[in-house]
Amino acid sequence: MLSIITTTVSSKSDALLLGKQLIDAHLVACTHISEIVSQYYWKDEFHEEKEYQVSFKTSQAKREQAIKSIKANHPFEVPMIISNELQVNNSYKGWMDQYLR
């Protein structure tokens, strides 16, 4: 099984920094960063803004540590953090497990 943790941040530099912090700490094997448009209300004001979605790939064993690190280093006051468990092919899982040791 593979854990994919997803969050959003307001800038590409924040996304890259958060990803590098977790990769350097061996909490995640890799990240995918995509530009998105978000619509939401915050403090009674409507916002429509460019944001960056960051997906982190990690093992089930490192999932909780990775989530704690994301929360501790996230620039948002109230970050959205989603975690999903997925099946993955054995060769990819082997590469990921070797990196996350």
Domain enclosing residue 70, as ranges: 2-99
Q: What is the pLDDT of residues 13-52, one digit of tens each?
A: 999 999 999 999 999 999 999 999 999 999 999 999 999 9
Query: How many domains does the chain divide into?
Result: 1
CA distance 58 to 63: 6
Give the mean model confidence (pLDDT) for residues 2-6.
Answer: 97
In this structure, are residues 18 and 70 in contact, taking their beta carbons and an 8 Å threshold?
Answer: yes
Give the mean model confidence (pLDDT) for residues 94-100.
Answer: 91
What pLDDT was estimated at residue 101? 84
**What global pTM score does this model have?**
0.93
Q: What is the CATH number of the domain that holds 63?
A: 3.30.70.120
CA distance 41 to 48: 9
CA distance 35 to 87: 26
- Token digits of residue 54: 């960051």
DSSP string, 9-48: ESSHHHHHHHHHHHHHTTS-SEEEEEEEEEEEEETTEEEE
Q: What is the pLDDT of residues 61-87, one digit of tens each?
A: 999 999 999 999 999 999 999 999 999
What pLDDT was estimated at residue 80? 96
